[in-house]
Every structure is written in structure tokens, then in C-alpha cells.
Amino acid sequence: PMSWSQSSYTDPTFINKIKYTPNWVFQGSDDTNPYPSTTYSVRDAMVAAGANFKLTVYQGVGHGTWWNAWAEPDFWPFINRAYSSNPWQVGGSKSYWPGTAINAVIGLPAGFSAYEWRKDGVLISGASSNTITATAGGVYTARVQRNGLWSDWSHVPVSILPGHYEAEDYSAMFGVQTENTSDVGGGKDVGWIELGDYMDYNINAGTSGTVTLNLRVASPVNGAQLKVKKADGTVLTTVNIPNTGGWQVFQTISTPINITAGQQTLRIESSSSAGWNINWFEFSLGSSGNVAPIVNAGSSQTITLPANSVTLTGTASDPDGSIASYNWTQVTGGAATITSPSTASTTVTGLVQGSYNFRLTVTDNLGASSSSDVTVTVNGNNQSPTVNAGLDQTITLPSNSVTLSGTASDADGTVASYSWTKTSGGAATITSPSSPSTTVTGLAQGNYTFRLSVTDNQGAISTDDVNVIVNAQPAPGSGTRIEAENWTAMSGVLTEACSDAGGTLDVGWIDNGDWMDYTINVPAAGNYTLNLRIASPNTGAQFLIKNSSGTVLSTLNVPTTGGWQVWQTISTTINLVAGTQTIRLQANSVAGWNINWMELVGATATNQAPTANSGADQTITQPASSVTLNGSGTDPDGSITTYAWTKVSGSGGTITSPSSASTTVTGLTAGPYTFRLTVTDNSGATASDDINITVNSATNQLPTANAGADQIITLPANSVNLTGSGTDPDGSISTYAWTKVSGTGGTITSTSSPSTTVTGLTQGNYTFRLIVTDNSGATASDDVNVTVNAAPVNQPPIVNAGTDQTITLPVSSANLSGTASDPDGSIATYNWTKVSGGSATITSPSSASTTITGLTAGPYTFRLTVTDNSGAAASDDVNITVNSAPNQLPVANAGADQTITLPTNSVTLNGSGTDADGIIASYAWSKVSGVGGTITSPGSPSTTVTGLTAGSYSFRLTVTDNSGATAFDDINVVVNQQPTPPYSLRIEAESYSSSTGVVTTSATTDAGGGQQVGALDNNDALNYTVDVTYSGTYTINFRVGATKGGSRLQLVNQSGTLLATINVPNTGSAWQTVSVTANLTAGSQTLKVLVNKSSGNPVFNWWELKLSSLSTARAASNTRGEVMETTVPGKLQVYPSPVRDQLVVDLNNTYSGNINIQLLNLAGAVQNQYTFSKAAGNSRHVISVSMLPKGEYILMMQINGTMESRKFIKL
């Protein structure tokens, strides 16, 4: 017991001296020195100052409390805890690989009267000596007894840890440093870790498989990350490191990792620029045994400025230990100061308007940590929204609908809802009362007022009114109707038959910018109603009405009538001047429309209504109870004569100057008000405008939320029931909202109910938050923590993906038959995946057996992963080898056939090759037929062939693929003779160089005059020196005359070869040109005209050489079948084939006599026939085949009862 004086326990100096020293005070309830009330006052003062103060009161005891305090369960056991001692390792190792046998001896000092041991907080039966042998991993603690009193359980336990490694025990490193650590267990940690830094550790894994890697890490920053790698660089896992709150605020994080048995090196490498520290890491098959602490940062709070501080009251407990430290941090929000960040409760000051998140992180005596967040909302004074119902409108019947377009904004929030209502006027229907814009239909003649009310996200309401005037429909016959097709000018439109009442035509095909002008005669200036008969199936059609100066008188939106011939009358009011004038209807939209007629209705000029402005909406907060309303009014054709302020809605309030433009309103109470300013012009027309005044009441008291007590469950149980509640001191709770603050997975089934079930939970810590909202919109929240412990260690399933398979294309599918079993449960799922290989489709990936389709040549690996009913997974691979199909032949393409004409004597052959199952390895060009020609690049796909001569060629492209298969394709090249140049030479008969026999010259009677040669007798000869320019076939024209037939001339060259025979006909007293053909060689030569036979006094005026075709010195036959002798091998030769124009027929000396040649098609029909006489010796005949169609033909020759035939192709 302690004695207190009034002055000491109220003295701040005294309180500050002792508040940091723990105090345990014993007080008798009947003590009078000090009285219990005095001790209670001291306790309250010291606790308020933050002191660690404990008070124990003994009922019915006076001043002698010492004997009570010394006994159980108070001070004496506290003193005797000095008996306790922490156990230590005696034999064996503290670290055993998961799955291997554990055999460790743990000891305490000898000499105590009794000993007890616990493993993971559970008493070990029969363990009563100062040493025990641990055969299972876990956390071991002990206590001792002396003099009948038990000590406390050891504060520093022995942890038999599976695969435990201190971070500083690396075998190699880069860039890091060690430092002393303040983490539980002391020693050193590794820090100063930057991107790319690493530590290597020698690991001796006892078994292969998936284990849990636990890492003890700390970081005061976000975004830190590490990777665990094998010696070959393979990444085993990537771990994101949380912001723990400081470089020495350590937290244990876990991740699964697949490892192989045996000695190996693992690397822990930083993969982020954000730094982090590590104290130790360990491998385990399950949890370490330590249960993380449970923390609650308290209920969410909401304050309203000018209040700018809150007190955060956190709580924490540890189911298997004690809380070692508290740490408050600010997660989000503006400026703020946490006054006591390392205590369970703290004050936060300097808050500004906005939302804050503060986090309380607690760490237990074994280093496990948990966090909980609390939200603090700092509200400013809510401002009412601003609303505008739009401009007043006037329409004239039969138009009976308007569109009201309202807008609203909120300076400190958002607009939550809109509401249109009718405050005055006859019947009407508001089609969309909860939208910013709406159509009002069914209007009748008269005045209407419609009100738009908007509510912001904090419940404040503002309103604004819009007036609609509906004029009466003009009397029948008072309007002027103009048919739409009767324009005075237009652009872009067309007329069409109209099915509207009255028929005739309408104007359609109206595109954006099209227009029609109409002339109207207005009797007097004023406002007129313009009715228009409109049809459109489109949405968004619009047109303008303009006067002759281009001023827009009205903009009309065309309704969707339902079709191009579904008609509807719309109306608008336009102001017109008096007299004859032009108005224009101009399309103002892409959407088209039709018009049938328009009608102008109206009379004399009318007064324009004034405009009222009541000013901007206002918001005040009590105790303010008055506002000043500053209104105004304008009149476009007159002046404002009166102002009248009235109250439309609201409770109380006095308008001090109702007939002035500006007035004060006093006596306002909490709630919304609407005041109306009505102005009247000098013609008696009125207009009004409303202003909204919102009077906010005093600050609403916040509700209180209770999320219920924290809960702990153990898998396989994976759901909890959360039972929450809420209260409000000045109202009621209107809504509940559950959310998840932290944790993985989990489904909240009833988020808007006070109580809910959460399902689908997995191992770990969860925080769920209940937010309650009162009837004034204020909110509060509270968190509940749920800890889900791991289930007992599950044995993984066993899986077999089946035996490896080999198939050969075109087979492209395989059946995979997998099997699986689970030693301690059942198989829950199967999952086939492709590990490697080309494209393929797994038809039933979630079945034990499946078909794989769409396989291509190459190796594949498929993996079957099975998961048991406890979530453990195992996998096995199966290999499929797909052999290629037998090689497919390539395809060669030598290109299209070509034709050239000399002197062009080269072509380019553009070949190509493809291979369906490989590539082209080589190309080879060769000549199949034809004379001459050089292939310049025979090994390339494309080549040039040079040195070609007249005739037909065939070239072959052979391609070889990468498997040695070949293919070829031929291309035909036809080389035509060079075209015959124009050439002729006339020789006068008297120009001979010498003659044989007696010939005479005399003046000729032939056209052109000159001399003629006569007196031609048998064997007379005339020699002419001729210079022939071209070698080739010539037409030789002789100008002759004779009084009898039968004379014959012969043309002989200087070597005596007969070139041609000229039969001279009976020409009477006239001249006649006789033509023959002959082959001549180029050069100067002597040609002889020999009289072979003379009859009827033949005369000779001139002769002429005309080049018919060039040749290569071959002699051609004449047109009558008389041939020149030449040397031709073989019996019968027919060439070229294919042929385009002239076919050459060569006959050797085997044949002589009358020859008949027929050209037959393949059906045997005669296409043409030639007959000539052949003398002994070789001969050549040229036959024209240009008249034949393309195709195959047979040349048949008959001579002296012998028949031979040859086939040829006509191009």
C-alpha cells in the first residue's frame, strides 16, 4: 500500500518522474490510510499520463495487505519467477532437414525440485527431468519448481528448426554487409542489399520435393523483392517483401519451393532497387509452430473540422506467447503526426480534410508479426450542390411536349440523384423524372413550372425551376401552308411521291448541308408559329430555319417517326419582320429526313416576356440564420415595372423586402428553402426564377460499429460467422457494409447485413471490416481478425502420366492415360498441360485420360498434375515423339512459255520451286530440244538463255528438295524469223549488160513509156547486173506482152542455176505483169533472162524484184510447185513443230512425180490441200498454215501410190 497526498498525485512534475516506472499497488477495501478513493484518483492520473500502473484491491482487508499480496497468485509468484531459466541445446542439432529424423537433447540447470516441459505450448506428458530428447520439430519451453512454487515458463525457448540458416553464414556474396540485429535472438543480420546483390548458401537437402521456405526479413519501403535461384541460375521462387515498418522490424514470410536432395548451392538475390534486410531463413514441411499474434487497430473514426486530432486505441494478444513491440505507421492520407508510434494507443494530430489509413503492427516474442488498419475520415463542412433547370420555353399547340435539360454540380462531392417534379400547371407527364434531362408530354394550353431537385453524396439538396408556356393552337384558316416542293431555290434535294394525307409530293434525299428557300409574305412583324410536316426513321435528325441574312431563327430536332412516309407535325416559334422575305430550311445533321409541307400561323406582333434572375444558390450553417438575395430582371422589348419575392418551400423565414430586387431573409432554421423572384414588364408579362437556400444543422454525432470478437479456426474448417452490430446516439443505423481489409481469398456472403458468413478461407491472417452508416450519412467502422491455422501436414498424391509414345505422321493424335492415388485422402482434380513441343490441343485437360490432337513432327512433353482433397499437388511427365511423314515431292515451275522475234535472240527464264514438307536445295536448267542457245546460270532458279536462232526450243527446270526428291517442268521458247524489210528493185528491159541472139528495142506502148525489148526468139538471152541487198525469197514481176500464148522465159543465176520460169500469156494488144518467186542471195551478181520458148512475138518492158521474206540461204519453191534443188537429208521432214505461220516440207530424191499434200485435224477432216509436181532430186516446199486454229494436225503426203504422214502442232 502507498500513501498519497492531494498535492503529489496532481503534481505533473511528480507524475512525469514516476510514470515510466512500473507500479503495482495493493489496496485494502477497508483501508483508511489511504482510502481506496485516493488510490483510484492516483491510478486515473497516472494512467492518463501513460504510466504502466497495476492495482490489486483485496475486499474486506484493511491496511495489512502484505500477506495477501505475498501469496498466490500475486506478488510471491512474481518474485519466484527468478527461478525460471531458459533451456539450451545439449546434444544433437537445432536444425534438421524436413522429413529426416530429429534427435536433439535440450537441458536446464539441475537442482530444482521439479521440471515441466511444453512443446508448442502443449505440456509433454512424462517429461519431468532437467533434460529431454526432442524427436519432433517445434518450440520447446520449460519451467521449474522450488519451495512448492512454479516459475514462469521460459521466455527464450529452444526451437528445433527444420533447415535453419543464419543469413550471415553465406559461402559467397556480392555487395552486402552484416550488422547487429535487434530481432528476437539477437546476433547479426545481412543488410545494405541493393539490386543484383546476392548471398550463396551451401544446403544439404535430405529429401527431394516441395517444402516451405520461411524467411525473416525487414524493410521500411514498398516494392522490395528477392529471388531464390539454383547454381545454374534457375529461379526456384520469387518473393515480394512487405513494408514491415523499419530496417529492424522483422517479419517472417513463407513461400513453397521445390528442391532436390543432396549437397547444393542456393542463391538469394535481390531483384528490386528497394532495399531489405534478412536475419535467417529455414525450410519446413509446414508452419513453424509459432502462431502469429492477433491485432486490432480499433474502430474507424470520422471527425469534422475544426476538430483535427484523434486517439487511436489498439489491442493485441498472442495465443502462444507475448507481444514484444507495437508500431504505428501512416499508410495513406495527408499531413499528420503520430505522437506515440511505439505504444498500443496513440494520439494523431494535425489532421486535414480527407481520408487516412493508419496501421498498427505488433510483433510477438518469437518474431511473428501481424498488422491491422484503421481508417480516419476528416470531413469539411458540406457545401450544397448547384442546380440549373435550363431556360424557360414557349411552344404552340398542337406541339404538346418539351425537353427539359438540367445540369448540376457539387463543389465538395458528387451529385447522387436528380428529381423532376411539376410545381404548377395543368396535366403533364414527366417521362424520366430521375434523369438530368427528361421529356414532358401531354401539355395543354397554359403556364407550367417544373422543378429539378438534386441531392449530393452527403444528402444536401438544391432545386431550380423552369417555366414552360403553351400557347393555344391558331384558329383554322389563319395560317399559310406552303408545299415543300414549291421552293424558290434549293441545293441537293429531290422530290418523291408522298403517301401523307393529301398526297402529291414531298421533299427527301436530304443530306447534311442541303437546303430549300421559300418566299413568304408576312403581314406584320412578330412571333409566328411554324408547323412542319416531317418524317424520318432516323435518330438525331436536325435542321435550321434561317432568314435571308443567314440568322438562325430556330433549330428543330426531328423526332423518329418510324419511317420515311410516317408523318408527324412539329412546331416552332420564329420572329419575323413584316413584308415579303425568304426563309431557308437547311439540314444540320447526317441523319436524313423528309418534309411534306410547312404552315405559318400568327398575327400581329406580341410582347416578349421578361427574364428573371434570382441569383446563385446559397448554403449556410447554423447558427447563421439569414441570407441576402440579390435578384435582377431584364426585358428585351420594354422595362421591368415590379419585383415580387415569395417563399416556395421551407419552414419559417421572413422576407424583409419582398418588392425589391434584393432582400434579406431572416429567421431561417435547419433545412432546404426555395424562394422565387417574379418580375413583371411594362406590358404585364411576367417571369420568375427560383433560388435554393440550404441551412445545415449542427454536426451529426458519429455512429459506433462493432465487428465482434476475433476468431481462430484450423483447416480444413474454412468458414466463420461474423456477428456485427452498430449504434447511433442521435439517430439510427441505415446501412451495414462488410469488406475484407487483408488476407488471401475468402468470400463474404452477405456484405450488407450486420452478420454474415465468410467462406473459402485459406491458411493465414484475415482482417474484415464492418462499416455502418447512420441516417445522416455519417460512417464508422470496426475490424475483426480471423486467424486460419494450417491443417495437419498432408501427404502429396502419387501420379503416373503413362508410358512414352512414338507416332509417325500423318497420324497426329495420341491417347494419354494417367493414373493417380493419394495415401491419406482422395484425388480432387486432374490437369494435363504441355511442357514442351510444337502446337497441339489437349481435348480433356481435366480428366485422368485425354486425347492429344494436332501434333506436328518433333518431340513433346506433357505433364499430368493431380491435386488431392487437401490441396497438395504432384505431377508426372510423359514424352511423345512425332516422326515426320515420308518426304513429299517438290513442285517445279519453269514459268510461262515465251515467243521472241529475231534479231532478239535471248530470253530470261524465271523458274521457282516449292516443297510442302521442306525446302528446295538445288535448281538445274537443261535444254530438251532446239538448235544452239547457251544457258548462262543453269544452277539458279532464274537464268538467261542467249544465242538463240529461229525455231522452237524446250528448256527444263529440275528442282531437288532437302530430302533429295526431284521434280521438273518444261518451258517452250519459240524464236520467230526476223520480219522482212520493205525492199524492191525495178530493172528496165533495155538495161541489159549483154545479150545473146538478135533482140530489138523500140518505144513501148506500155504505161510510163520508155523502151521495150522484142524480137525474142528461142534461146535468146539478156544478162543484167543486179545488186541484191538481202538474201531471201523474192517476188519477181515481169512486164510482158504477146499475141499468142505459150512463150516461156527463165531466170538463171550466173552459175547457171534455174531460179524461176515465167509463162507469158496471150495479152492481145495489152501489157500484163506476170509474177514468180525465187530465192536470191545478197550481193552484186549477174542474172540472165533466157527465152526458153518463143510464141506469138513476146515483148518485154521491165522486171522487178520485191523481197517477200528473209532466209538463211534456203531456196524456196515457187507458188506453182516448181522447186529449186537443194540438199535435204531424209525421206520426208516436216518442221518446225510447234509452228505459227509457215510449215516447211523437205523431200529427198526418193520421190518424184505429182505430189498431193493434205492437212487433216485429229478427227480426219481435211483442212487444206496442196498439189504440185516434183522432179528428181531433193526439194523443199513452204506451206502457209496461218489460217489453221491452234491445235494438233496431221500432214499426209501421197505420191505414186505411196502415203506418208507427220504430226505437227499449230500455235
Q: Would you say residue 475 has pLDDT above 70?
A: no
Amino acid letter, 673? Y
Model confidence band, residue 903 (pLDDT cutoffs 50, 70, 90): confident
Phi, psi of 39, deg, nearest 5: -65, -40
What mean pLDDT comes out for the span 830-844? 95
Q: Residue 288: its pLDDT value, please?
A: 42
Radius of gyration of the chain (CA): 59
Q: Residue 80: its pLDDT value, please?
A: 52
Interval 3-45: pLDDT, tens: 555 455 656 777 776 666 667 788 887 887 777 777 877 777 7
Interval 158-170: pLDDT, tens: 666 556 788 998 9
Under a CB-based contact definition with an 8 Å cutoff, are residues 233 and 120 in contact? no
Bond into 73 cis (ω within 30)? yes
What mean pLDDT comes out for the span 104-129? 86
CA-based torsion, 239, 244, 249, 252: positive or negative = negative
**Cell 518474431 appears where?**
367
Q: Residue 1120: its pLDDT value, please?
A: 28
- How far is the C-alpha of 433 from the C-alpha of 444, rounded, in Å? 19
Model confidence band, residue 644 (pLDDT cutoffs 50, 70, 90): very high
Q: Residue 289: its pLDDT value, please?
A: 47
Q: Would you say residue 1200 has pLDDT above 90?
A: no
Question: Which range has highest mean pLDDT (181-185, 767-771, 1011-1015, 1146-1150)?
Answer: 767-771
Q: Give 560's strand partners.
A: none
What mean pLDDT comes out for the span 610-639? 88
Under a CB-based contact definition with an 8 Å cutoff, are residues 680 and 747 in contact? no
Percentage of the chain surpassing pLDDT 90?
A: 44
Residues in the chain: 1211
**Cell 492518463 appears where?**
48
Interval 522-555: pLDDT, tens: 877 888 889 999 999 999 999 999 999 999 999 9
Higher pLDDT, residue 974 or 74: 974
- How far is the C-alpha of 934 from the C-alpha of 798, rounded, in Å? 74
Interval 726-779: pLDDT, tens: 998 878 899 999 999 999 889 999 999 999 999 999 999 999 999 999 888 888
pTM (2 decimals)? Answer: 0.26
Cell readout for 95 is 536444425
Model confidence band, residue 1128 (pLDDT cutoffs 50, 70, 90): very low
Percentage of the chain surpassing pLDDT 70?
A: 90
Under a CB-based contact definition with an 8 Å cutoff, are residues 790 and 765 in contact? no
Q: Would you say residue 235 has pLDDT above 70?
A: yes
Higher pLDDT, residue 220 or 382: 220
Under a CB-based contact definition with an 8 Å cutoff, are residues 1076 and 1105 in contact? no
Interval 1017-1060: pLDDT, tens: 888 899 999 988 888 899 999 999 998 888 999 999 999 899 99
Question: Which range has highest mean pLDDT (252-266, 317-331, 389-403, 1068-1082)?
Answer: 1068-1082
Model confidence band, residue 286 (pLDDT cutoffs 50, 70, 90): very low
Q: Would you say residue 603 has pLDDT above 70?
A: no
Q: Which domains occur in the chain, in start order?
A: 7-115+142-154 (no CATH), 164-285 (2.60.120.260), 294-379 (2.60.40.10), 386-471 (2.60.40.10), 480-601 (2.60.120.260), 611-696 (2.60.40.10), 704-789 (2.60.40.10), 798-883 (2.60.40.10), 1132-1210 (2.60.40.2550)
The rounded mean pLDDT for the chain is 85
Bond into 341 cis (ω within 30)? no
**Cell 547457171 appears where?**
1056
CA-based torsion, 1158, 1159, 1164, 1166: positive or negative = negative
Helix H or strand E segment including 582: strand 579-587
Interval 317-356: pLDDT, tens: 876 678 889 999 998 888 899 999 999 999 999 998 888 9
Q: Would you say residue 267 has pLDDT above 60?
A: yes
